[in-house]
Chain A
Amino acid sequence: MAVVEAHDLYRTYRTHTGTLRRRAKEIEAVRGVSFAIEKGELFGLLGPNGAGKTTTIKMLITLLIPTSGTATVLGFDVVKQAREVRKRIGYVFGGERGVYERLSGYDNLRYFAELYGVPAREQKRRINELLELVGLKGREHERAEGYSRGMKQRLHIARGLLHDPEVVFLDEPTIGLDPVGARELRSTIASLTDAGKTILLTTHYMFEADALCDRIAVITQGKIVAEGTPRQLKSRVASGSVTEVEVYGVPEETVERLKTLEGVLAVWIEEREQAQVLSVQTRADTQLTAAILGHLNGANVGRVSHREPTLEDAYVALVTEE
């Protein structure tokens, strides 16, 4: 039996617009998400901002009730048996919030150890172990308001592991961290799988998912559009090629026209310093450079180059083709 199972999860948010004439508006954040995570697996939910990653994770950790569909964690229903689920899971949100800043890191951990039912005689040992694990030993008695973003993030991780949960949910844990801090955190996450934890990680960093995850599901606009190992996802675009053109001031209509060309898999624009880089991913058997440049008539065109597709291209192709 899978440790985490989601079956056709839907979640709709209801918001209102207008002041005097209020109108209800419904936003479908998650539309039919299904997946299963096996014991000891590190499963990545990868997608752009607003794709439905956090909504999905919040349904699984019992903070949101699905509009429809079901989900279980360790066999317990996340709606009907929320308390049983909460006892057995740990979760970590990215960002600086979620910490009692006026108190020390140690006090924060002590309080949550009590809430998670860690026996009193074990609390001190457990907290010290986790402080060592996340590298906060020696700073634990300082007020959390003086911690850097990375330290707060590591405090979150320690808090999520206090009760030695079987399943850990990590929602964009490296967001906003500097490269060194993010690398250290990734190494901590990797050590959790070595300890036999089952992990669901959400991220929008392709390389992070590639480096850490056993399997990845790509989610965009509330739907899972691809699922497999990093190698399987890469193989989806391995035979194509990417044409990159430095441009200045390409209108949106041009991008839309390029998408309609025969043999084009995906088109996207990145802002790089003062220029834009237009990337066009094409099938291997297609040579479209002339056609692409023809469509850029009127725009200032710089350097043109070709390269092999990467995993990031696979991801971009998946999330832009929806």
Chain B
Amino acid sequence: MRALRLLGVGWLFHFKIVSRSAFDGIGQVIYPLFFATVAFFVFRAGESPRTLLYASLGAAGMGMWSATSTTAGSAMQRERWHGTLESLVATPPHFALILLPITISMATIGIYCLVATLLWGWLLFGIDISVVHPLLFAFSIPVTVLTFGALGFLFAVCFVRFRAAWALGNLFEYPVWLICGFLVPLVFFPDWVRPFSWALAPTWGMNAIRESALGGDPLNDLLVCAALGAGYVSLGILVTNRVLDAARRRAALSLT
């Protein structure tokens, strides 16, 4: 119960911080609109109006992942700059309970990305945004956001020791766009790419959102997405103490 409360308060606290940064906020507002516009121009040659919705959802996924990956990487960096990383580590709870709400609060910005992208496409380009399974669509979004946050958490745990964590976060931004099929379907990639795609929850989350919007069976995708998310969290919890011990041994917590 206390752990849940800590997760909730931590999420609210860090969401407040993220939402109060005008500088970060401008990027988060503009990026999804930019992605949506690019996707529209790339896919407008397609005959079917559903192709445009497919592309819009992909653009929304790009925005969601960008919000998570770059900020998860920079989350540790920001704590270092503020001098708060040591204060957090010195508190009694398991560090995973402190870190997880930070990355989930970042991923929550992704919900705005989805809404903004769809509205932008509808208002400017007349894209039909009606969805086939509204309930499943509504359910797919939080599950996908949470798993994005879980993947961001795993990254952030692994980055705790490194001063240039933000650079590592940026490094993962574009490859995930590509190999998770946000804009280009996975069938166009060589076979050896697929195991990497399957291991990444965003692939399944994106599929679930698309299948529920465009018609199909999103349940399997949702289950795999949720299972992978749970796997990332479990792995993150397992390695947290080991990574923190290494940071304490190397005196890396106070480095900026």
Contacts and interface: CB of A to CB of B under 8 A. Distances in A.
Nearest to B245: A65
Contacts of B250: 14
Name which of A95, A99, A114, A159 has the most chain B CB atoms within 10 A of its CB.
Answer: A114
B16 A107 contact: yes
Nearest to A55: B251
B20 A103 contact: yes
Given A63-B248, A98-B84, A99-B82, A112 B21 contact: no
B234 to A, nearest CB: 20
Contacts of A98: 82-84, 86-87
B82 A101 contact: yes
B88 A115 contact: yes
Contact of B92 (A65, A95, A117): A117
A103 B253 CA distance: 23
Contact of A111 (B5, B13, B90, B245): B13
B10 interface: yes
A14 B112 CA distance: 45
B164 interface: no
Interface of B: 2, 5-6, 9-10, 13, 16-17, 20-21, 82-84, 86-93, 98, 245, 248-251, 253-254
Contacts of A107: 13, 16
A62 interface: yes
Interface string A91-127: 1010101111111000100111011110010000000
Contacts of B6: 114-115
A61 interface: yes
Contacts of A83: 92
Contacts of A306: none
B164 to A, nearest CB: 15
Given A62-B90, A116-B91, 4 more contacts: A13-B251, A65-B249, A86-B91, A114-B6
B17 A115 contact: no
A112 B91 contact: yes
Interface string A1-40: 0000000000001100000000000000000000000000
B248 A65 contact: yes
A163 to B, nearest CB: 9
Contacts of B91: 86, 112, 115-116
B122 to A, nearest CB: 33
Contacts of B10: 111, 114
A99 B84 CA distance: 6
Given A65-B245, A107-B13, A86 B84 contact: no
A112 B86 CA distance: 13
A64 interface: yes
A87 interface: yes
Contacts of B82: 97-101
A93 B13 CA distance: 22
20 contacts: A61-B90, A63-B90, A63-B253, A86-B92, A97-B82, A99-B82, A99-B84, A100-B82, A102-B21, A103-B16, A103-B17, A103-B20, A110-B9, A111-B10, A111-B13, A112-B91, A115-B6, A115-B88, A117-B93, A159-B87
A14 B251 CA distance: 9
Contact of A103 (B13, B90, B92): B13
Given A102-B21, A115-B6, A64 B251 contact: yes
